[in-house]
Each structure stands twice: as structure tokens, then as C-alpha cells.
Amino acid sequence: MRNFAINGKTAVIAVGMSDLTMRPAQSNPALAAAALRRALDGSPVRQRDIDGLVVTSGAPLGVDYDKTAEVLGLEVQFVQQSWSHGRFTNPGLHVAAMAVHAGLAEIVLCVSVFAFAKAKHTMGNIGGEGDHEADRVGGGPHGESPVYGLAAPLGGAAMAWQKYLSRYGYTGDEAAELVLAQRENAIRNPAAAMRTPLTHDEYLQSPHIIWPLRKLDCSLPTDGAVAAIVTSAERARDLCAKPAFMTAIQGLHASRNEHSFGAPWLGIFQQGSVQPCVADAPFAASGIGRKDIAALQIYDAFLPQTIATIERFGFCGPGEALSFIQGGRIRFDGELPINTSGGHLSEAHCGGWTQIAEAVRQVQGLCGNRQLPNAAHVMYAHGAGDCTIFSREVS
């Protein structure tokens, strides 16, 4: 039986991130080192205490586990490295939690580098020549089919977005609110890579790259790294005054109905146009209600993922999210703030790890002028069904 026995048994005790930059400024291993150094700053944990390592972005976009251990002076007896995709961020964190819960390691470092700025400078736009991810029978992991010019992850996101807008009767301009809200959050975040104020008109003038998606609907091609230190709930209380306990975990989903850019009922690519099924398990298993979530941190390489994630986790009904986000509800002082550090659209694209860092820090009360008043529970969620709820206490 799936009983989510791990809920409440582990915690993140510290996070750190490198500078987040739109231009390459450091080597990838230097980014990893900066993230770890900052995570350890103020923590009693030293490099020698770390006995597990999780990497969710290897070379060339990031740094492989062996080089990471070598550069960071680690001696670890548990390692996991995944394919370099943001969809493996929650799973990476969950593997770290499982390793400590299962006794395979005591303190696991998750550290991942995402060097999209370097990739853009050396290879040009992500998804063109030299991108071999699409070289599979049936297309790439975002629906790519280069022979038809359906190239780049953005193409799959645009396909999902067109289906969403047409199926539910929107024009697309409604998305401005989400982009403006995240930019406003980034302006409050000194670490964010994009802090220029943005107006509604400027959003509407943002050019379409792959219609119906605009440039401003896309993540920033930044360089950056995030480190997160995971241990058992018990050790966490010894090592840290304010751990962020992982009170609800749900894994990445995969099936014919799953696509990383649209809810499983949307009907893009081979998805069925099936009866919507909302993810209740994280809430039911933890006893934490949706109303208890102080903020949602969402993986948003492209804007449609935010909308799909809000619906999939039942914060509103299918097709309603683009209405739900209006009227200030998701702004910093609204009922359900979203991506309080700016998200991939305005903070940086570290494959979701900056959103996890933000969730942890909100729960720890370390967010300074963007600290939410009652951040007892903050959720990081991804459109393909995986999530983690971070909590101040284990109930």
C-alpha cells in the first residue's frame, strides 16, 4: 500500500545558491562550490559530514557527480545523478530524503548547476542544431519533431498552451497577471536575475517566439547553482534551529496521459481528453489542507506549467486557473502567493531548485523583506504530478 511513510521523517536544514546571472560569469564547478559554501555558511555541517550526494544536472549543462565530489572535497557513499531536466528536481530531493530515511546516508547534499546562459552563448537557442534529445522514435521529451520544425522545449509548451486557451475560451492576454506578479516578486528579491519593472502594456508587446507563447512567458536563460542539505528529522533538530520538514512528498508521474506542459486531461500529443483527476494524496496523507499552504512555488520553465500545476493539485478546477490567478490572489499579499522569489520567469532557471530554496527559506523565516507572515507550510510542485510540502513543524 502506498502510505507515504516518509512524510515528516526528513528535513532540509540549509540551502545556498550561487549568484544567478544572465551572462556566464563563473565556471560550472565554481557555481556548485559557491552554492555549497553559502549553504554551509552558518550551519554546523562541514564537508566531511556529508555522506550522500544527489545531482540532477550533469555535464554539459551542469556538473557530473564525480567531478562535483572531487571539486567540493566530498567523500560520499551514496550517489544519485539524473538526466539533466527540471522534472527530476523533486525526484532528486526525494531520493535524498529516502536515502537518509533508509539509513544509506546521514547527510545528503543535493547540488545542481544549470548553465543555460553558457548554453545559449555557445549553442544558440536551446532546441536547435546540436540538440539531440529529439532523436527518439516518436519524438523528444517535450514533443519535439525537428523534421516538422517542431523544435525546442518551448514548442511543446506552446502546443499545450494553444490547446488550453482554445479549450477553455481564453485569449492568452490573461497570462499577463502571472508574469507581472512574478516580476514584482523578483524586484523584492535581491538575488533575482531580472528585476526591471514590467507593465501590462510591455507584456502585451512582448513578441511571440512560438505563438501563442511570448518571450516573457519563457524562463530566463541564466547560469546558477543551488545546494540543499537533507537529513533526518531527528538530526535536523540537532543541527538546525529552524529545519524545513518535508511533510508531504509525491513522486513524478509518467504515463501516456502525462506531458510536462499540460495537465493529464488536456489532450496534447498522445494525452487522452480524459476525466480530470486532481492530486489529493499529498494533502490527504499529510493532513495539510490546500488552505494551509502559505505559498506555492511552481516549476515554470514556461508559463503554461504554472497554470497546469495549479489545476492538477486542485487549487481550482480544470480550465479555471487563468481566471483564478486574477485580481491579486497570487500576488505577494494575496490569498495564495505564487513563486515569491520570481520563479523561472524572473528570478532564474535552476531547474526548480531556486523555488525549492525559496520554499525552504520561507518556512525557515529567512526571506527578509519578502518573508510571508505565516509560512507554516510552503509547497513546491511540478506539472508532472510531483510535489514536496515543507513545514515548520511535523504535526
Partner 1 sequence: MLRPRPYLSGFEDMPFWEYCRNGELRLQRCRSTGRFLWPILPVCPDDLSEAYDWVPVEGRGRISSYVVYRRIYHPEFAGHVPYICANIELPEGVRMTGNVFGTDGAWNADAILGPAPRVDALNGRDVTLFFEECGHDLTIPQWRLAS
Collapsing DSSP to helix, strand or coil, 348 comes out as: coil
Residue among 9, 87, 101, 163 that touches partner 1 (CB under 8 A):
163
Q: Which residue has the cell 510540502?
A: 389
Query: What span, in angstroms and rounded, lies between the C-alpha atoms of 346 and 22?
Result: 11
| Binding residue for partner 1, selected from 14, 50, 165, 321, defined by CB under 8 A | 165
Residue from 17, 33, 45, 158 touching partner 1 (CB under 8 A): that is 158
CB 251 within 8 A of CB 4: no
Q: In the bound complex, what is the minimum distance in angstroms from residue 153's beta carbon to partner 1? A: 11
Identify the residue among 128, 287, 317, 328 touching partner 1 (CB under 8 A): 128
The least distance separating partner 1 from the CB of residue 121, rounded to whole angstroms, comes to 17
CB 384 within 8 A of CB 395: no
Number of neighbours of residue 216 by Cβ within 10 angstroms? 23
151 near partner 1 (CB under 8 A): yes
The answer to whether residue 208 forms part of the interface with partner 1 (CB under 8 A) is yes
Q: Compute the Cα dihedral for 357, 361, 362, 364 and give only its sign.
A: positive
Q: At what angle do helices 176-187 and 303-312 cross, to 10 degrees?
A: 100
Closest distance of CB 1 from partner 1, Å: 26
Distances (CA, A) of 51 to 250, 260, 379: 24, 32, 27
If the CB atoms of residues 55 and 158 are measured against partner 1, the closer one turns out to be 158
Interaction between residue 136 and partner 1 (CB under 8 A): yes
8 vs 140, beta carbon nearer partner 1: 140
Question: Nearest Cα to 10, choosing from 296, 292, 237?
Answer: 237
Contacts of 29 by beta carbon, 8 Å cutoff, 6+ apart: 63, 67, 68, 71, 113
Candidates 7-15, 72-80, 209-217, 355-363; binding stretch for partner 1 (CB under 8 A): 209-217
Given the complex with partner 1, which of 224 and 262 has the nearer CB atom? Answer: 262
Are 46 and 98 a contacting pair, CB within 8 Å? no
Is residue 210 part of the contact set for partner 1 (CB under 8 A)? yes
Q: Decide if residue 175 touches partner 1 (CB under 8 A).
A: no
Q: Using CB under 8 A, which residues numbered 213 to 232 contact partner 1?
A: 213
**Site mask, partner 1, residues 245-274, x = CB under 8 A?**
-----------x----------xxxx----
343 binds partner 1 (CB under 8 A): no
Of 209 and 376, nearer to partner 1 (C-beta) is 209
Rounded to a whole number of angstroms, the distance between the first and last alpha carbons of the chain is: 22
* Residues near 373 by beta carbon (within 8 Å), at least 6 away in sequence: none
> Which residues, in sequence order, are CB contacts of 351 under 8 Å at separation 6+?
56, 57, 84, 85, 86, 88, 89, 112, 114, 299
Instruction: Write each residue from 44 to 83 as x if it is in contact with partner 1 (CB under 8 A), else as -, in one continuous string.
Output: ----------------------------------------
Q: Would you count residue 137 as binding partner 1 (CB under 8 A)?
A: yes
Dihedral of CA 259/180/123/29: which sign? negative
In three-state secondary structure terms, 217 is helix
Residue 129, interface with partner 1 (CB under 8 A)? yes
By the 10 Å C-beta count (0-12 exposed, 13-18 middle, 19+ buried), 123 is classed as middle
* Closer residue to partner 1 (CB): 39 or 158: 158
Question: Which of residues 155, 243, 264, 318 is near partner 1 by CB under 8 A?
Answer: 155
Asked if 181 touches partner 1 (CB under 8 A), the answer is no
Shortest distance, position 242 Cβ to partner 1, whole Å: 45
- Contacts with partner 1, residue ranges (CB under 8 A): 125, 127-129, 134-139, 143, 145-152, 155, 158-160, 162-163, 165-166, 170-172, 207-213, 256, 267-270
